């Protein structure tokens, strides 16, 4: 059993050196503490709310009972001063995260989020591991969190100028020469897409949302939408090198123009021996779908005119769409169709899916995901099977402003 006490409350936090910002954190820090456990452990987490408003805690990516999913569908908000205990078994290895699922555009922007690491029996051996939680925050001239809102923010989602790694703006990361590290990366941004580059150097994808992928994939960049996770093997580098960890320009068709931006710098120190071994097979992932298949439903991500926002974001033409039930054990093949001219990260609660096709093409590798980018006017086919966890579940765009406006669907899983 892993027991954790979390207290959500107001804190003064130094996002940028020398400036104290009024923010919200778990246990006085941003991000909240990294929760570490092993597959099969029971997590018992007592959350005490010292915020001036109610909150609930969602366990992003975890296969848990519906009642523990931490949304306003399955639980009442935890009132200021109250404590709620979340208790569930950690069934899968991977890099997950926790964040409020209430007034998210405020609660996440102010700093309420943290990583949850679950280790399996067969993890690859690397020389070190770091958890890097990426975020951005929009500060005013006094270094305080800027008031939320406005038409552009409602459309683009909120993107801030201060780019944070583990709650600090553009930090230096110190690494020994000659070593290969495992970086577990979480994108906790409200809306920012991070097209991650490590000085243009090659690195290796080991895992995504739902843990290890089937085989390591060498790349020079990887796209993390809001809520995405990726595990990568980084290095080896040479003593004295300075390497930029950047988000390369990614045009997700926003009003604001995309550009290259820095998140951190790697400074390479004296060499240390390496014992890193990355096996050629990481895990066996059986495909849920082989050959031609027709979708069992379509989920249309769209927009509608709105007086308040200019446009408002919806699913199947309605905000907070009520979708049809999903039967336990029945193969789901969903076509998630983007009817808009901008990208949307689609997130399914409580269950992993496989990506079958993106715009008709199979994905580059086999993986389990809970969040996938749906390109403008694009179509992503996913496959998944609900295991026996009936209850109320949901899916939504993970650009928090779009989610808030109603780009989401509720559905029941039934026996």
Structure tokens at 395: 């899916």
Minimum distance between the CB of residue 322 and Cu ion, rounded to whole angstroms?
19
Nearby residues of 307 by Cβ (< 8 Å), 6 or more positions away: none
Instruction: Give the binding range for Cu ion (CB under 5 A) out of 14-22, 103-111, 368-376, 391-399.
Output: 391-399
- Tell me the sheet residues that pair with 318: 315
Shorter beta-carbon distance to Cu ion: residue 182 or 321: 321
CA angle at residue 100 from 96 to 104, to 5 degrees? 115
Shorter beta-carbon distance to Cu ion: residue 94 or 302: 302
Minimum distance between the CB of residue 187 and Cu ion, rounded to whole angstroms?
14
Shorter beta-carbon distance to Cu ion: residue 77 or 376: 376
Dihedral sign (CA 146, 150, 153, 154)? positive
Minimum distance between the CB of residue 181 and Cu ion, rounded to whole angstroms?
33
Binding of Cu ion at residue 397 (CB under 5 A)? Answer: yes
Minimum distance between the CB of residue 400 and Cu ion, rounded to whole angstroms?
9
Minimum distance between the CB of residue 407 and Cu ion, rounded to whole angstroms?
5
Instruction: Give the binding range for Cu ion (CB under 5 A) out of 104-112, 316-324, 387-395, 397-405.
Output: 397-405
Q: Which of 138, 224, 212, 220 shows the shortest CA–CA distance to 186?
A: 224
Backbone angles phi and psi of 151, in degrees to 5? -65, -45
Residue position matching structure tokens 């408002």: 312
Instruction: Give the binding range for Cu ion (CB under 5 A) out of 40-48, 183-191, 266-274, 338-346.
Output: 338-346
Binding of Cu ion at residue 132 (CB under 5 A)? Answer: no
Minimum distance between the CB of residue 314 and Cu ion, rounded to whole angstroms?
10
Instruction: Give the binding range for Cu ion (CB under 5 A) out of 40-48, 112-120, 343-351, 372-380.
Output: 343-351
Binding of Cu ion at residue 344 (CB under 5 A)? Answer: yes
Minimum distance between the CB of residue 392 and Cu ion, rounded to whole angstroms?
22
Q: Which of 100, 66, 185, 147 shows the shortest CA–CA distance to 404?
A: 100
Shorter beta-carbon distance to Cu ion: residue 61 or 157: 157
Q: What b/e sequence results for 168-186 when a residue is b if at least 16 CB atoms lie within 10 Å of its CB, and e otherwise? A: bbbbebebbbbbbbbbbbb
SS3 105: helix
Question: How many Å apart are CA 185 and CA 407, to the nearest integer?
Answer: 25
Nearby residues of 366 by Cβ (< 8 Å), 6 or more positions away: 213, 214, 285, 287, 354
Q: Which of 57, 399, 408, 413 binds Cu ion (CB under 5 A)?
A: 399
Binding of Cu ion at residue 252 (CB under 5 A)? Answer: no
Shorter beta-carbon distance to Cu ion: residue 169 or 399: 399
Shorter beta-carbon distance to Cu ion: residue 55 or 254: 254
Would you say 370 and 348 are in contact if contact means Cβ atoms under 8 Å apart? Answer: yes
Q: What b/e sequence results for 209-243 when a residue is b if at least 16 CB atoms lie within 10 Å of its CB, and e otherwise? A: bbbbbebbbeeebbbbbbbbbbbbbbbbbeeeeeb
Instruction: Give the binding range for Cu ion (CB under 5 A) out of 34-42, 195-203, 302-310, 401-409.
Output: 401-409
Instruction: Give the binding range for Cu ion (CB under 5 A) out of 66-74, 77-85, 135-143, 344-352.
Output: 344-352
Would you say 21 and 15 are in contact if contact means Cβ atoms under 8 Å apart? Answer: yes
Shorter beta-carbon distance to Cu ion: residue 197 or 373: 373
Shorter beta-carbon distance to Cu ion: residue 25 or 160: 160
Q: Which of 113, 141, 136 shows the shortest CA–CA distance to 24?
A: 113
Shorter beta-carbon distance to Cu ion: residue 56 or 397: 397
Minimum distance between the CB of residue 399 and Cu ion, rounded to whole angstroms?
4
Binding of Cu ion at residue 158 (CB under 5 A)? Answer: no
What end-to-end distance do the CA atoms of the chain give, in Å? 30
Binding of Cu ion at residue 402 (CB under 5 A)? Answer: yes
Shorter beta-carbon distance to Cu ion: residue 153 or 181: 153
Binding of Cu ion at residue 155 (CB under 5 A)? Answer: no
Q: Count the helices and strands in the chain (H runs, E runs).
A: 3, 31
The residues binding Cu ion (CB under 5 A) are 344, 397, 399, 402
């Amino acid at each position: 059993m892993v027991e954790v006490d979390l207290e959500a409350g107001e804190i003064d936090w130094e996002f940028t050196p020398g400036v104290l910002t009024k923010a919200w954190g778990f246990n006085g820090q941003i991000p909240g503490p990294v929760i570490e456990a092993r597959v099969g452990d029971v997590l018992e987490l007592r959350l005490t709310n010292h915020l001036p408003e109610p909150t609930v805690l969602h366990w992003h990516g975890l296969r848990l009972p519906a009642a523990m999913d931490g949304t306003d569908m399955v639980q009442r908000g935890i009132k200021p001063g109250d404590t709620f205990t979340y208790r569930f078994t950690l069934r899968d290895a991977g890099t997950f995260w926790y964040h409020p699922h209430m007034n998210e555009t405020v609660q996440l922007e102010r700093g309420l989020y943290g990583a949850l690491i679950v280790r399996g029996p067969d993890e690859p051996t690397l020389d070190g591991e770091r958890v890097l939680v990426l975020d951005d925050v929009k500060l005013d001239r006094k270094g305080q969190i800027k008031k939320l809102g406005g038409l552009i923010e409602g459309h683009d989602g909120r993107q801030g100028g201060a780019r944070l790694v583990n709650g600090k703006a553009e930090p230096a990361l110190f690494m020994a020469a000659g070593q290969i590290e495992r970086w577990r990366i979480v994108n906790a941004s409200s809306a920012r897409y991070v097209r991650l580059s490590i000085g243009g150097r090659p690195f290796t994808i080991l895992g995504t949302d739902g843990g290890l992928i089937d085989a390591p994939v060498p790349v020079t960049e990887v796209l993390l939408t809001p809520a995405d996770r990726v595990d990568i093997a980084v290095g080896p580098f040479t003593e004295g090198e300075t390497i930029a960890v950047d988000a390369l320009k990614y045009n997700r068709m926003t009003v604001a123009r995309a550009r290259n931006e820095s998140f951190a710098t790697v400074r390479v120190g004296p060499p240390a021996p390496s014992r890193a071994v990355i096996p050629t097979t990481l895990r066996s992932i059986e495909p849920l779908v082989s050959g031609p298949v027709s979708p069992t439903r379509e989920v249309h991500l769209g927009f509608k005119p709105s007086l308040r926002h200019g446009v408002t974001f919806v699913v199947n033409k309605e905000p907070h769409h009520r979708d049809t039930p999903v039967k336990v054990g029945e193969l789901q093949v969903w076509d998630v169709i983007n009817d808009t001219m901008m990208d949307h990260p689609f997130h399914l609660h409580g269950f992993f899916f496989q990506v079958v096709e993106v715009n008709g093409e199979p994905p580059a590798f086999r993986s389990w995901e809970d969040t996938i980018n749906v390109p403008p006017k694009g179509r992503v086919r996913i496959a998944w099977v609900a295991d026996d966890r009936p209850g109320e579940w949901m899916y939504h765009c993970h650009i928090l402003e779009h989610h808030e406006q109603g780009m989401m669907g509720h559905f029941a899983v039934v026996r």
